[in-house]
Amino acid sequence: MELAILKLLSCKDKHTRFMPLIKKKFVTKETWTVLEAYTHYFEFMDEITWAPFVSWFFTTKHTGMSDVAVKAYRIIFNRIEAYEVDVLDENILNSLIERDSATKIMEVARSIAETEGTHGMEEIMELYDKYETESGKAGELDKHFIDDDYEALYDHIYSEKDCVAWRLPELNAATGGLRQGNFIVVGACPDSGKTTLMCNELTHIALQVPEAKYVHYFCNEEHGRNIKHRILQSALAKTHSWLKANWSTAVEDYKKYFIHEPNIKVFHNTSISTHDVETVLKKYPPALIIFDQLRKFRGFEKVSKGEVDRQALIFAWARGIAAMAPTIAVHQAGGDAYGQMYIGMEQLYNSRIGIQGEADAIITLGRSNDLELPPNMRGLYVPKNKLIGLDPKASNGRWNIEIQPEIARFKSCKE
């Protein structure tokens, strides 16, 4: 963060605005020394050109530095010059603006409460307007308007070019495939086939992903290597015994399975956080995101009023993440759904947290305890659906499908 501050404040306007907000005790000695040097340099120069500034720093501002110190500061200056500011760095400035504005508003509010006639509420409004202008939030509102580009509107709703298809035709009939912005919740009881369903679908979707985009599977329960093995099994539709006997061939076949190169990334961490997810997605641009047991992800502990409130925030956060790529959250069904073929959305675990409200569609996978039914039969149900499917009659469809655990696949009832 300090490198970002040093780069951002090497501009005179930003330095003049934000230097008073930087406290010496919160940065390293080296960072403070460079920031002070900026202050003195800007007294006679309007901008920093690095070669003249560095020369001035050593020959005028800080003469007599040891060779070790000179070497250390030269490394710092090289890093500052090469550093490229991104959106996250700009957020540092917004944080400083917010803190400064809040302090000023608090001082005016205290003055209004304790004295008469010196300040008024209009001054608070002026300070807030200034804050929105400086932080850019007022201008940001314009980007949230939906424009009159009807061709783009058609593509978003109907076109297949920015849509990825499910492997199961029942899901395509119900939802029309997956698009950027879609947030789907998949619910089922333990040992019903949730992970197999995800592997069945993501290995098909991975074939539709453009180069340099990735299918992400974030999990915090079953070990990631087990997930990776099942993904390989589902892609090749091979049994455990075949894979064990032909492992080298299987690995080569798996690499050839993809159009460009293997683009499925499995991230396993029992204490995975929302910050971990954001860091990964920034490094590896997503085409599909799967959260296995999102309710157990860490995040929002400090701002929530309890676990129910925290989970509501987690699902709202995931709803926002879907703006990057279609997102699926795998969720547990409650105990009352055990042994039931078609699970309603009200039977999702801890459904009071408003999961239903965040999701564009809810897909459930049921398993009956009726011994007269085939043991591999599952009930696929779409109890909530705001998406436009290929078949309007299938919007809230119910189907029987067959799990094929030996090859980590599902078989459609239409096959």
Length of the chain: 415
Determine, yes or no, domain membership for 321: yes
φ, ψ (nearest 5 deg) of residue 207: -75, -10
State the Cα–Cα distance between residues 206 and 164, nearest whole angstrom. Answer: 9
| Domain co-membership, 167 together with 283 | yes
- DSSP string spanning 329-371? EEEEBPGGGTT-SS--GGGBTTGGG-HHHH-SEEEEEE----T
Determine, yes or no, domain membership for 206: yes
Number of helices followed by number of strands (H, E) in the chain: 17, 11
- DSSP string spanning 196-221? HHHHHHHHHHGGGPPTT-EEEEEESS
31-73: per-residue pLDDT in tens? 999 999 999 999 999 889 999 999 999 999 998 899 999 999 9
| Domain co-membership, 8 together with 115 | no
CA distances from 215 to 131, 223, 329, 336 (A): 39, 18, 14, 33
| Domain co-membership, 229 together with 81 | no
Determine the pLDDT at residue 366.
Answer: 94
Last residue of a domain, which of 143, 172, 187? Answer: 143
| Domain co-membership, 183 together with 298 | yes
Alpha helices in 115-213 (DSSP H): 121-135, 137-140, 150-157, 169-175, 194-205
State the Cα–Cα distance between residues 251 and 40, nearest whole angstrom. Answer: 62
For residue 131, the enclosing domain spans: 88-143
CATH of the domain at 373: 3.40.50.300
| Domain co-membership, 194 together with 98 | no
Last residue of a domain, which of 39, 66, 85? Answer: 85
Q: Identify the three-state secondary structure at position 325.
A: coil
Q: In this structure, what token pair is assigned to residue 371?
A: 């011994």
Contact 214, 286 (CB under 8 A): yes
User: In what side-by-side order are the strands of the sheet with 409-411?
Assistant: 264-268, 214-219, 286-292, 327-332, 183-188, 361-366, 377-385, 398-404, 409-411
| Domain co-membership, 228 together with 376 | yes
State the Cα–Cα distance between residues 4 and 111, nearest whole angstrom. Answer: 36
Q: How many CB atoms lie within 10 A of CB 191?
A: 8
Q: How many CB atoms lie within 10 A of CB 170?
A: 24
| Domain co-membership, 28 together with 162 | no
| Domain co-membership, 267 together with 295 | yes
Contact 36, 72 (CB under 8 A): no
Determine, yes or no, domain membership for 178: yes
Determine, yes or no, domain membership for 203: yes
| Domain co-membership, 96 together with 70 | no
State the Cα–Cα distance between residues 185 and 327, nearest whole angstrom. Answer: 9
| Domain co-membership, 36 together with 124 | no
Determine, yes or no, domain membership for 213: yes
Determine the pLDDT at residue 127.
Answer: 77
Determine, yes or no, domain membership for 148: no
Determine, yes or no, domain membership for 149: no
Beta-strand pair 361-366/183-188: parallel
Residues of the chain with pLDDT under 50: none
Q: In this structure, what token pair is assigned to residue 161?
A: 């070019």
| Domain co-membership, 210 together with 355 | yes
Q: Which DSSP category does 48 fall into?
A: -
**Whole-model pTM over 0.85:** no
Determine the pLDDT at residue 155.
Answer: 76
Determine the pLDDT at residue 118.
Answer: 62
Determine the pLDDT at residue 353.
Answer: 57
Determine, yes or no, domain membership for 391: yes
State how many domains the chain has.
Answer: 3
Buried b / exposed e over 291-300, threshold 16 CB at 10 Å, is bbbbbbbebb
| Domain co-membership, 222 together with 344 | yes
